[in-house]
A and B are shown apart, each in its own frame.
Chain A
Amino acid sequence: MKRMGENGYVKQSFVQDTETLRLSSVNELKELRSILFETLDENKPRLVICAGTACHASGSNGIIRIVKKYILEKRLADKVALRITGCHGFCEMGPFILTEPQQAFYVQVGLGDVPRIVEALLSDKYVEDLLYRDPATGEKYYSRDDIPFFKHQQRSILGLNEKIDPIRIYDYIAQGGYSVLEEVFSKQNADWIVQQVKRSGLRGRGGAGFPTGLKWEMLAKQSGDQGKFLVCNADEGDPGAYMDRSVLEGNPHSIIEGMIIGAYGTRATEGIVYVRNEYPLAVKHLKIALKQAQELGLLGDNILGTGFSFDIKIVIGAGAFVCGEETALIRSIEGKSGEPRQRPPFPVQKGVDGKPTVINNVETWANIPLIFKSGADKFATVGTENNTGTKIFSLVGKIKNTGLVEVPMGITVKEIVYDIGGGASGKAELKAVQTGGPSGGCIPANMFDVSVDYESLAEVGSIMGSGGMIVMDENTCMVDIARYFMNFLKNESCGKCFACRKGTQRMYEILDDISNGKGTLEHLDLLKELAEVVKDTTMCGLGQTASNPVLSTLRYFTDEYIEHIEKKHCPAGVCKALITYSINENCVGCQACIRVCPEGAITGEKKQRHVIDAAKCIKCGACRSVCKVEAVDVV
């Protein structure tokens, strides 16, 4: 079966049995791509359905089954195709069906809607009532790309997700995937690769923004006698952020391609993807993708007959936020507990197994093929001068359009929140945006003009972080948010540094006191002093940024803290010890709240205004969540 330079081998095996195809030269890869192009029928009506974790949670698997059932029953397999993809970003609207080539976007589809959608697609019509409508204006959109949520984005990474079934390598190749390898391998110039990445201005998307090209250059200079490692950090631990999950789930081959390019440029010998185990679907898709790439000859020994060898293995984390820190991640890969260590020596000098190692975030790796596809200079034109390219954010919280958004760097928070996100989800006004997860800070609404780039965000006391953007409104208490993050950090700190372990514990204690109405003004000074010392005296990134949630809320929302302390009042109505529930005159006496109250604290006759016994009330909020007439007040 195996042969060198035999004409028509790719075509032949493609027709006969695609599963045994193994490419042995760059030309064969080109040949395969052209065959795939030929068989690609862009005009065939097609249903595109997301099966990412979020849509899965909304029931997209059921929709997919029904589509399959309908196609088989009606024998439509020749007329209509189905593509199951990763995340498109608009998770709020799931499960959805996107049709091609129409670009109709049907949202929150039910099982019974499937036949109508398939039939409409076949006759090039629309199912009007299922099309996306702007919740504010009621305007109906016939084409997905006109929807404001998508229209204002620049989706160079995420845009590929909808075109690819992540468990089919041929989908990726047909979309131009692995084409960069052709150029990279034919140039045979490792230094050129590193220089291109430097020229592109790409900075690490994991949060700190270290220039990727520079990192690679340092690795390239290290002696490679003992081997060198490339690591993809997919330990996306920031709560409220899921960009990396979506890229891994939706387009795992782009990470693999990026890592092959990186390995060729830095002469790394081994690659590792470190994924957190909370992402089972990402792990599954990555495993399939790695296997396919190995079987096709794109990974392993003598890749495409170039004599260059590189392979990627997968390591699954076991649930520890601190493992996102480079040195802790390395220890975890080595099978130890994830305790960070002193840098220097830096991982690029001494990393996995003591060998030189470069660690880049998932999104950074996904950007690498794009740099070479468009050219480094063109890549650098997107964004601003020192912040090139696009960045994916997970826009979540109290916002109308939640989901993943990809925007050029340097865009303002305002544009993201209002133009793409559509503003507040409820009636309450927006108060702040939290970026950077537990290491980041809050940006108050009056500073929404700030440009989203590494420097500007640091200036206002937050960080870019990996891309979480949690929108908060007047019903979010900033003391509670600081307390939430501190609770998170005191559990997630590895506990090695006394300052981090005790510092986060004590900061939580003080914040808890304040939210329980036991705070004093002296507490605020102590909190600030402690926060600054923790920032100064801890060893790793987790500890050094652990104070940010406290310091940034203290900076912009001091009034809220003082109100908690002096007036024993939580303006957002969140801190339980400082609020009381009561029933107002809206009450129609439906007794719904009486039925759900776990403490029997509510009394009242039918059609009479009910009363809450404050002594019995545990402030669980059950009554408020069932009340249909907004009769439960929180003060």
Chain B
Amino acid sequence: MINLTINGLHVAVEKGTTLLEAARFLGFPIPTLCHMEGLSPYGACRLCMVEIGEAPRAKLVSSCTYPAEEGLKVRTTSSRVLRARRMILELLLASCPQSKTIQDLASAHGIRRQRFRQEYEDCILCGLCVRICEEQMMAKAIGFRSRGENRSIGTPFDAKSDVCRLCGACMYVCPACQLRCTYNEPEKAICGGCANLTPPCIEKEQFDDMMCYMDPCVACEIKKD
């Protein structure tokens, strides 16, 4: 077992436990967007930052990817952590204002102003869809392309994927696109946020054999005739 303290509380966890798991075990809330149980930790959204170590060498790390270490002192709500978290939420909100999840998180953290130029992006590149497609659906239909500001998620060559089974898991896990997916006009229903897939709901004739995780379908409100 590994002994560490989180916000002054002592906890012993098994080797390989992440700081996020340890903190949640103790009941300390840490917001996350790119984390999901059952998927490998990725560390993309940077919301789960916690402070470790002691001044002057204290630093912030992403708790979802950082393994518990013997004797580590972790602070989940220090002023440095909160400042970082608020700035990241402000950045998220400025880029993806339509996401209910992000709106709620921002509101809970007291984000009251918007200092960056407003954008309307579909995707925060958290990679949940990529990981669920690979790790749970064993499909590997979508992946990351390019890098930096041009990074995006989609299928190779932006063509309809040969390996996609239209399971809809990617949409199910997406934290950014929920709101827009409830449109019921087909062209708007295409959720570019997670993938350039044809959403299952549009191919009505295939609706019967679809392995849709959304039951009832949260992606669209089209009822089969």
Which residues of B from 47 to 72 have beta carbons under 8 Å from A?
A: 49, 59-62, 65-67, 69
Docked-complex contact A498 and B88, CB < 8 angstroms? yes
Residues of A within 8 A of B43 (CB): 341-342, 496-497, 539
In the bound complex, CA of A536 to CA of B125 (Å): 20
Query: Beyond A344-B67, A537-B49, A539-B62, is A498–B92 a contact (Cβ under 8 Å)?
Result: yes
Partner of A499, one of B59, B80, B91, B150: B91
In the bound complex, CA of A509 to CA of B115 (Å): 12
- Check B124 for interface membership: any CB of A closer than 8 A: yes
- Check A102 for interface membership: any CB of B closer than 8 A: no
- Check B84 for interface membership: any CB of A closer than 8 A: yes
Docked-complex contact B83 and A533, CB < 8 angstroms? yes
In the bound complex, CA of A499 to CA of B124 (Å): 11
Residues of B within 8 A of A497 (CB): 43-44, 46
- Check A385 for interface membership: any CB of B closer than 8 A: no
Docked-complex contact B44 and A530, CB < 8 angstroms? no
Stretch of A365-373, A408-416, A486-494 that contacts chain B: A486-494
Residues of B within 8 A of A537 (CB): 46, 49, 60, 62, 84, 87-88
Residues of A within 8 A of B69 (CB): 344
Residues of A within 8 A of B66 (CB): 342, 344
Docked-complex contact B148 and A494, CB < 8 angstroms? yes
Docked-complex contact B147 and A499, CB < 8 angstroms? no
Expressed in whole angstroms, the minimum distance between the Cβ of B136 and any Cβ of chain A is 20
Residues of A within 8 A of B215 (CB): none
Residues of B within 8 A of A529 (CB): 83, 87
Partner of A496, one of B44, B80, B115: B44
Stretch of A264-272, A447-455, A500-508 that contacts chain B: A500-508
Docked-complex contact B147 and A495, CB < 8 angstroms? yes
- Check B207 for interface membership: any CB of A closer than 8 A: no
Partner of B117, one of A492, A495, A504, A509: A509
In the bound complex, CA of A539 to CA of B42 (Å): 11
Docked-complex contact A503 and B91, CB < 8 angstroms? yes
Which residues of A from 536 to 559 have beta carbons under 8 Å from B?
A: 536-539
Residues of B within 8 A of A320 (CB): 147
Give the nearest-CB partner of B61 in chain A: A342
Residues of A within 8 A of B92 (CB): 498, 502
In the bound complex, CA of A121 to CA of B42 (Å): 65
Docked-complex contact B91 and A506, CB < 8 angstroms? yes
- Report A469-498 CB contacts with B as 1/0, cut-off 8 Å: 000000000000000000000111111111
Docked-complex contact A533 and B148, CB < 8 angstroms? no
Which residues of B from 150 to 205 have beta carbons under 8 Å from A?
A: 150-151
Residues of B within 8 A of A490 (CB): 148-149
- Check B95 for interface membership: any CB of A closer than 8 A: yes
Query: Beyond A491-B148, A494-B147, is A526–B88 a contact (Cβ under 8 Å)?
Result: no
- Check A580 for interface membership: any CB of B closer than 8 A: no
Docked-complex contact B91 and A498, CB < 8 angstroms? yes
Docked-complex contact B149 and A501, CB < 8 angstroms? yes
- Check A6 for interface membership: any CB of B closer than 8 A: no
- Check A294 for interface membership: any CB of B closer than 8 A: no
Residues of A within 8 A of B115 (CB): 522, 526
Docked-complex contact B149 and A505, CB < 8 angstroms? yes
Residues of A within 8 A of B117 (CB): 509
Partner of A506, one of B44, B83, B116, B146: B116
- Check B45 for interface membership: any CB of A closer than 8 A: yes
- Check B120 for interface membership: any CB of A closer than 8 A: no
Residues of B within 8 A of A341 (CB): 43, 65
Residues of B within 8 A of A344 (CB): 66-67, 69
Query: Beyond A342-B66, A530-B87, is A498–B149 a contact (Cβ under 8 Å)?
Result: no
Docked-complex contact B148 and A501, CB < 8 angstroms? yes
- Check B25 for interface membership: any CB of A closer than 8 A: no
Residues of B within 8 A of A504 (CB): 148-149
Query: Beyond A509-B117, A530-B87, A537-B84, is A498–B46 a contact (Cβ under 8 Å)?
Result: yes
- Check B28 for interface membership: any CB of A closer than 8 A: no
- Check A34 for interface membership: any CB of B closer than 8 A: no
In the bound complex, CA of A491 to CA of B149 (Å): 6
Query: Beyond A491-B148, A506-B116, is A501–B87 a contact (Cβ under 8 Å)?
Result: no
- Check B144 for interface membership: any CB of A closer than 8 A: yes
Docked-complex contact B87 and A533, CB < 8 angstroms? yes
- Check A337 for interface membership: any CB of B closer than 8 A: yes
Q: Which of B46, B69, B91: most chain A Cβ within 10 A?
A: B46
In the bound complex, CA of A539 to CA of B66 (Å): 10
In the bound complex, CA of A503 to CA of B127 (Å): 18
What class of interface size applies to chain B in its complex with A?
Answer: 35 or more
In the bound complex, CA of A335 to CA of B68 (Å): 30
Residues of A within 8 A of B148 (CB): 490-495, 501, 504
Expressed in whole angstroms, the minimum distance between the Cβ of B102 and any Cβ of chain A is 11
In the bound complex, CA of A322 to CA of B151 (Å): 14
In the bound complex, CA of A501 to CA of B146 (Å): 12
In the bound complex, CA of A496 to CA of B65 (Å): 13
Partner of B62, one of A342, A522, A530: A342
Give the nearest-CB partner of B85 in chain A: A537
Give the nearest-CB partner of B42 in chain A: A496
Expressed in whole angstroms, the minimum distance between the Cβ of B100 and any Cβ of chain A is 18
Residues of B within 8 A of A322 (CB): 147
Docked-complex contact A493 and B147, CB < 8 angstroms? yes
Residues of B within 8 A of A337 (CB): 144, 147
Give the nearest-CB partner of A536 in chain B: B60
Q: Which of B45, B60, B84, B87: most chain A Cβ within 10 A?
A: B87
- Report B81-106 CB contacts with A as 1/0, cut-off 8 Å: 00110011001101100000000000
Which residues of B from 106 to 146 have beta carbons under 8 Å from A?
A: 115-117, 124-127, 144, 146
Residues of A within 8 A of B151 (CB): 494-495, 501
Give the nearest-CB partner of B66 in chain A: A342
Give the nearest-CB partner of A543 in chain B: B46
Partner of A495, one of B49, B61, B84, B125: B125
Which residues of A from 308 to 366 have beta carbons under 8 Å from B?
A: 320, 322, 337, 341-342, 344
Residues of A within 8 A of B45 (CB): 498
Residues of A within 8 A of B60 (CB): 536-537
Docked-complex contact B88 and A499, CB < 8 angstroms? yes
In the bound complex, CA of A494 to CA of B45 (Å): 14
Expressed in whole angstroms, the minimum distance between the Cβ of A337 and any Cβ of chain B is 7
In the bound complex, CA of A295 to CA of B89 (Å): 59
Give the nearest-CB partner of A509 in chain B: B117
Give the nearest-CB partner of B65 in chain A: A342
Q: Which of A342, A495, A498, A503: most chain B Cβ within 10 A?
A: A498
Which residues of B from 1 to 52 have beta carbons under 8 Å from A?
A: 42-46, 49
Expressed in whole angstroms, the minimum distance between the Cβ of A338 and any Cβ of chain B is 8
In the bound complex, CA of A603 to CA of B82 (Å): 60
In the bound complex, CA of A539 to CA of B46 (Å): 9
Expressed in whole angstroms, the minimum distance between the Cβ of B75 and any Cβ of chain A is 13
Docked-complex contact A502 and B91, CB < 8 angstroms? yes
In the bound complex, CA of A537 to CA of B63 (Å): 11
In the bound complex, CA of A495 to CA of B143 (Å): 13
In the bound complex, CA of A503 to CA of B88 (Å): 9
In the bound complex, CA of A423 to CA of B182 (Å): 65
Residues of B within 8 A of A501 (CB): 125, 148-149, 151
Residues of B within 8 A of A533 (CB): 83-84, 87-88
Can you offer 11 A-B residue contacts whose CB atoms are under 8 A?
A: A337-B147, A342-B43, A344-B66, A344-B69, A495-B147, A496-B44, A498-B92, A498-B124, A498-B125, A529-B83, A537-B49
> Besides A495-B125, A533-B84, 5 other CB < 8 A contacts?
A491-B148, A491-B150, A497-B43, A506-B116, A537-B88
